[in-house]
Structure 1
Amino acid sequence: MRTLLMAGVALTVSLIGPVAVADATAERAALDRIERPQVCGPAVSANTGTPVADMVMVEGFGTGGFAVDTIVPEAQAWFNHGVRLRWAFEHKESVRAFRKARLLDPTCGMCAWGEAWALGPNLNGGGNDDDSQSAALKAARDARRLARRATPMQRQMIDALVQRYSGLKGSRDRRFALAMDRIARRNPSDITVAAITADAWMLKADEWWDDGGKAKDPGITRAMGILEQALATAPDDPGAIHLYIHLTEWSDDPHKAIPYGERLASLAPGASHLVHMPSHTFYRVGRYRDAMMSNVNAVALDLKYDSLARPPGGVPGMALHAHNIHFGMGGALMAGGAEEGLKLAEWFLATYPDIPADNMWRQAMANNAYALYGRFGSADQVAGLAEPPETHPMLRVSWRLARGEAAARAGDAAAVRAEAAAIAAIRSQTGFAAGPNGEMRNDFTEVTQRVLEGRAAMIAGDADAAIAAFTRAAAIQGQGEEGGDPPIIWYPTRRSLAAALLLKGDAAGARAKLLELIEDWPNDPYSYFVLAEAEAALGNGEAAAEARRQSRIEWIGGAMDLKLT
């Protein structure tokens, strides 16, 4: 399997803990461990201490919840809402909902269980800090103390949570997964228990899949079986579908999640993250337009939720809002979705105008925004982009990319070359590749430099220089594992290399490169466009016509150009 440089959340995860930067081998090993992520956003604590009394219950988060030990209808309603929010990965809001349920009925043991559950580890990497774990243990012990009216199964669930936050940290995930698994085996028809158990096994596993998409951990095999059994019984359960999309995304058959993903948004039309989630499957199987629109809708829902519920921190404080924008921008770039893509790019730069200098992840995400301006923006729009400060070199590189791509569209090789040279100058500054994530920073920006060098060479008709530039970009991009979420380098630079080979007259080499590439980036419209040109050059008329047809399936942009491939 060919590989890509960085996955969309790789830098997020890398910011959670220190990386051994003194040893390049250690840094690469750390990169390899995080290249194929299963998470959707940054690790943040749900234990915010924000007010709960004035929380508003927003409709549209789907089904979820079950009868607990309360006779207060409002407490039961907020408990159910907390469950729905937890499966929507609204972890902070879920904690608030369970705390509101406890406020309404201080004697409800399972309401305390809900708070403890929502505070704990989640697939976004949150809930592992000492403060969250301590607060969760206290809530779990409260649940045990209060749960006289809880059912026997619910008391077992409480005991499992106490284990999750007690004893040696290194064994907590496994003990919790085993405890929940025993409950699930005794209650095979309980969908909530099934989902919690599958989630526990997914959290326990250090690695999910090997390069061939086969399970690397028995817990992943067990989680898959649990979820498929649950969905056979309850095919419209949002929580089970959410987990199934994550679990299958990098398996050997991501297509299995398509029928579930296609209906998830209608099952939870008010939950932005669940409306977003199908895009993980769509992007993986090459449905880039659908991936774009899932996130256009998710971004709109975030704004709606803010207007209705006024959560602390507003839209910028939503942990997954930037992820929605980033994913939508990636789909737009791949599909040629200029109109929606530029709206997302404008919104991203407006929503996060003051990215901290040490937040590499957010700066890397911004690359898609600048790429959209470069690929589709008007001359005035590109000229209106403010130059980022010198304290933000990665943003400056992306700003140069926008200018370079716009110049390439105009056919100005000298201007493209000048932007590439400016990026090279930024990379040559003392200390640019030093410190945490230095190697990744350097690789990421060198790919950008080489892409622009290749663009300039293509415009000038210098096939050898274009091949050299794109070969280097593809080699760097191929160092890590195949990424998703989406890839931080938005497109496969091998397709640019194939176009350069075609310019050189090596149509057979270009064809071979593209057939290999399409295995990893299915339905990439621009790759099919180049393939059509290669097949035509080889005299394969029928194959060329079929490739042209394929190129139009996911493409909603204008005319394609080999020089801009």
Structure 2
Amino acid sequence: MPTKVAASHPYYNLGPFTLAISTSNPSTQTWFTRGLTWLYAFNHAEAASCFTQAILHDPTCAMAHWGLAYAVGPNYNKPWERFDARDRAASAKIGYEAARRAKAAAGAAAETSYDHEGGVTVTVKVKPWERAVIGAMQRRFEGGRPPKDPGVVNARYARAMGRVYEVFGHGGDEAVALEIAVLYADALMNITPWALWDLETGAAAKNAPTALVGSVLDDALGMPGADKHPGLLHLYIHYVEMSPTPDSKRALDVANQLRGLVPDAGHIHHMPTHLDILVGDWQRSIEGNYNATIADERYLAGCESGAYNLYTFYRLHNYHSLIYAAMFAGQKKTALDAVARMEKSVPDWSRLLSMTSPPMADWLENFLGTRVHVLIRFGMWNELLALPLPPAKDQDLLCVTTATTAYGRALAHAARGDIPAANAEQALFEERKSRVPPSRRAYNCKALDTLAVASAMLSGEIAYRQTEYDCAWHRLRRSVQLDDNLPYSEPWAWMQPARHAYAALLLEQGYIQEAAAEYRADLGVDERLIRPRRHPRNVWALSGYHECLRRLGRAGGEEGVRVQRELSEALGRADIRIRASCFCALDADRNESLGCGGKGKGDDNGSGSGNGGAKVQASADGYGHGTCRERDSRL
């Protein structure tokens, strides 16, 4: 049994949000509010601890038991299907028992609450809305066993919350109405988590309650106190981010209202950056995610379980998002500093990844390969070649990291023109990739799917260095296709767009129109790509597109002037010289490694060798070599 902690004990700064519940104990009220705030900040373990403290201070507080049931149940990022068997069984049992205790406390004939601090018994009337949400919670946990069909249970709970919303979601107590709206929207979103929208059409996904979610959230945003409600603002960002309009005024206003609202909750600092990335505000994404990592470090300093819990997924996600934004902004120092901080944020990675419930290796191991992607992005070939594989005894545990490291080293060898070494590392990469289990994830993707992008890209770049250009174009186009078709994640699970390499090499070989088309798509200048696959205002594609316009004689036109303005702004924030959208381009690699042009001076990137940019004719279908399709059957 945990030790009871006074609410006055020093604690994190969680901002102004509160929700009054039926209890005579001020400490219970404080701990409940903390728990609910952490729920909305997606730190469910800390929320459960707070609700447990609320129960210790007032065991008869019905809403404290309700909160505990809520905290251990499924959520938008962790539906029932993502629980491992042990976790699912334990959570179902704890949730069921807490929900039953909440119902018993709410339905007691003599509704009393014992004030442990004061030593007196006082009568506390349980409010009708509290009875209603407690009743709905019974539909989420029935029988104390994991649900056989989570979809049925999720829909049943949402229907129950819908009935609560009909009664209490409008008028009356404004704070209660707002809270009920948030709880109902959350229940609806958990019917089809991360699948509210059809990304290809922009319409609501089939069988998803998207329109109803939007209606509930839109109405709630018009209620008093909406601009200070972390749960509402958080859910709205998740609702709109996969929609066709993540850049709507309402969406961006919501993001701005959420910034800093819960000072010590890292995930709340991070959430607005989902939209920052989608609209190409890379600097704001850097700032928001940096603030998230600082808040997380404050949280970690006071967390009893330290780094060995599922919230570490959220902490690593915030570092990763910071690194991702810095990469798109061309800020090498920021990215490398964040990688180092992320790696140090877990004292013992082997201990963390060896935890089996939850299966931390499946959730978190992918983050350990991040350094490789940063080194590739910034053309740091020598550093890549100096990067060791994980120790042999750890390579099964660190299977994604091992494969990713081999991939990076193979690219570095290819960039330096050492094809035999590149082929050897490529063989090692493919062998190690074959050992990655399908359970390993990169956010909403399977790690195997992101490694398939790596496989196609690596094959394409090696073919390019061997001047097998038709094969190179085929393979690089395949990498672009695989990258584009990854499931939605924010940030995207593949850290450097395959399109950046493909376009840079097209441009280097003189295929200017083709390269320009790829850059236009990446920047979202046209609508060839759906919103999540675009990267507006990123310095790499701007650099490449500006060069295309210059070579096409269009740099002085309206579009050329606009691109030049955006490029100048982006270059002003970058900390390196950028000559191409990928350092795999031979001329870009050579100029950067020689320190030409100021900012790049002193970078140790190795050097490339090749044809110096002469145009090489490819066949119309891009295959050319008769054996290319056969050799690429594995792609």
Give the secondary structure class of the aligned counterpart of 1:235.
Answer: helix
Which residue, out of 160, 173, 177, partners 2:154? 173
Q: Is the Cα contact below 8 Å between 2:438 and 2:448 reproduced in 1?
A: no
Greater C-alpha Rg? 2
Alpha carbons of 1:324 and 1:80: their partners in 2 closer, same or farther (altered >3 Å)?
same
8 Å contact 1:98–1:111 — kept in the other structure? yes
1:413 corresponds in structure 2 to 417
Q: Does 1:425 align with 2:428?
A: yes
Structure 1 residues 559, 453: closer, same or farther in 2, change over 3 A? Answer: farther
Instruction: Report the Cα distance in structure 1 between the residues aligned to 2:568 and 2:215, rounded to whole angstroms.
Output: 38
Distance 1:513 1:384, change over 3 A: closer
3-state DSSP of counterpart to 1:154:
helix
- Cα offset for 1:299? 1.3
Distance 1:495 1:112 in 2: 52
Percent of matched pairs sharing the same residue: 25
Q: Deviations over 1:162-186 (max 9, x none)?
A: 1221277543222221222222232
Q: 2:288 aligns with which of 294, 302, 319?
A: 294
Which of residues 200, 209, 213 in structure 1 aligns to 2:187? 200
Are residue 557 (structure 1) and residue 545 (structure 2) matched? Answer: no
- What is the CA–CA distance in structure 1 between the aligned matches of 2:362 and 2:61, rounded to whole Å? 43
Counterpart residue type for residue 413 of structure 1: G
Do the aligned partners of 1:365 and 1:488 also contact (CA within 8 Å) in 2?
Answer: no
TM-score normalised to the size of structure 1? Answer: 0.82
Distance 1:446-1:141 versus aligned 2 partners, 3 A rule:
closer
The aligned counterpart of 2:214 is 224
Aligned position for 2:135: 159
Change in CA separation of 1:434 and 1:258 when aligned onto 2, cut-off 3 Å: closer
Equivalent residue, structure 1, for 2:255: 261
TM superposition shift of 1:100:
0.4
Q: CA separation in 2, counterparts of 1:533 and 1:466? A: 22
User: Which residue of structure 1 lines up, in the alignment, with residue 100 of structure 2?
Assistant: 141
Mapped contact 1:284–1:484 kept (Cα < 8 A):
no
After TM superposition, the structure 1 = structure 2 runs for residues 494-505 of structure 1, keeping only pairs within 5 Å, are: 494-505=499-510
Look up the match of 1:98. Answer: 51
| 3-state DSSP of counterpart to 1:214 | coil
Which is richer in helix?
1
Q: Distance in 2 between matches of 1:462 and 1:523?
A: 32
Partner of 1:533: 547
State whether structure 2 residue 481 is matched by structure 1 residue 475: yes
Shift of the alpha carbon at 1:155? Answer: 0.7
Q: How far apart, in 1, do the equivalents of 2:475 and 2:208 lie?
A: 43
| Structure 2 counterpart SS, 1:549 | helix
Q: Tell me by how many angstroms 1:53 deviates.
A: 4.0
Deviation at 1:337, TM superposition (A): 2.0
**1:517/1:250 Cα in 2 relative to 1: closer, same or farther (>3 Å)?**
same
SS at match of 1:551: helix
In structure 1, the partner of 2:197 is 209
Q: Does the residue aligned with 1:550 lie in a helix, a strand or coil?
A: helix
Q: 1:229 Cα deviation (Å)?
A: 1.5
Contact 1:231 1:237 in 2 (8 A): no
Alignment of 1:482-493 (within 5 A): 483-493=488-498
Q: Shift of residue 364 of structure 1?
A: 2.7
Moved more, 535-544 or 462-471: 462-471
Q: Distance in 1 between matches of 2:297 and 2:211?
A: 38
Measure, in 2, the Cα distance between the counterparts of 1:70 and 1:434: 49
With 442-451 and 135-144 compared, the bigger mean Cα shift is at 442-451
Q: Which residue, out of 298, 306, 315, partners 1:321?
A: 315
Give 1:454 deviation, angstroms: 4.9
| Superposed displacement of residue 342, structure 1 | 0.7
2:132 partner letter = Q
2:228 to 231, 236, 250: 236
Per-residue deviation, residues 469-525 of structure 1 (Å, max 9, x unmatched): 4223223323434x3221221122123222222223221122222222323322232
Q: 1:479 to 1:375 in 2, by over 3 A?
A: closer
Alignment-mate amino acid for residue 287 of structure 1: D
Displacement of 1:313 after TM fit? 3.1
Letter in structure 1 aligned against 2:166: R
Q: Quick one: structure 1 residues 118 and 64, their matched pair in 2 at CA, closer, same or farther if it must change by over 3 Å?
A: farther
Does the CA contact (< 8 Å) of 2:375 and 2:381 recur in 1? no
CA distance in structure 2 between the partners assigned to 1:68 and 1:422 by the alignment: 61
Within 1, Cα distance between the matches of 2:247 and 2:10? 34
Supply the AA of the counterpart residue of 2:366: A
Q: 1:303 aligns with which of 281, 297, 306?
A: 297
Secondary structure at the aligned position of 2:514 is classed as helix
Match of 1:394 in 2: 400
Residue correspondences, number: 512
Matched residues in 2 for 1:476 and 1:311: separation?
Answer: 42
Q: TM-score, normalised by structure 2?
A: 0.73
- Quick one: distance in 2 between partners of 1:262 and 1:102? 35
Is the 2:34–2:50 contact (alpha carbons within 8 Å) kept by the matching residues of 1? Answer: yes
Per-residue CA deviations over 1:401-432 (Å, capped at 9, x if unaligned) read 54456668xx62327x7346403333146954
**C-alpha distance in structure 2 between counterparts of 1:493 and 1:154, whole Å:** 51
Counterpart Cα distance in 1 of 2:437 and 2:267: 35
Per-residue Cα deviation, 1:213-236 (whole angstroms, up to 9, x for no partner): 322245221121111221222223
Deviation for aligned residue 1:239: 1.1
CA distance in 2, matches of 1:276, 1:430: 31
C-alpha distance in 2 between matches for 1:78 and 1:440: 38
Q: 2:514 aligns with which of 482, 489, 509?
A: 509
| 124-133 vs 153-162, which moves further | 124-133
Q: Which amino acid aligns with 1:209?
A: W
In structure 2, relative to structure 1, the CA distance for the partners of 1:546 and 1:413 (3 Å cut) is farther
In 1, the alpha carbon distance for the partners of 2:576 and 2:218 equals 41
2-structure distance, mates of 1:364, 1:57: 35
Structure 2 unaligned blocks of 5 or more: 112-124, 525-532, 585-635
Identify which of 563, 586, 590 aligns with 1:547. Answer: 563
Where 1:266 maps in the other structure, the secondary structure is: coil
Query: 2:241 is matched with which residue?
Result: 249
Structure 1 residues 301-357: Cα deviation after superposition (integer angstroms, max 9, x where no partner): 1111122x3332347663311111222221121111212211121123332643748
Q: Work out the CA distance in 2 between the residues paired with 1:157 and 1:484.
A: 32
8 Å contact 2:327–2:374 — kept in the other structure? yes
RCO greater where, 1 or 2, for CA within 8 Å and sep 6 or more?
Answer: 1
Which secondary structure state, in structure 2, belongs to the residue aligned with residue 204 of structure 1? coil
Cα distance in 1 for residues equivalent to 2:280 and 2:56: 47
Sort the Cα spacing of 1:346 and 1:65 in 2 relative to 1 into closer, same or farther, 3 A.
same
Q: Which amino acid aligns with 1:125?
A: K
Displacement of 1:76: 0.9
Match of 1:365 among 364, 367, 371: 367
Give the Cα separation in 2 of the matches to 1:283 and 1:435: 28
Deviation at 1:280, TM superposition (A): 1.1
Shift of 1:156: 1.0
Match of 1:123 in 2: 76
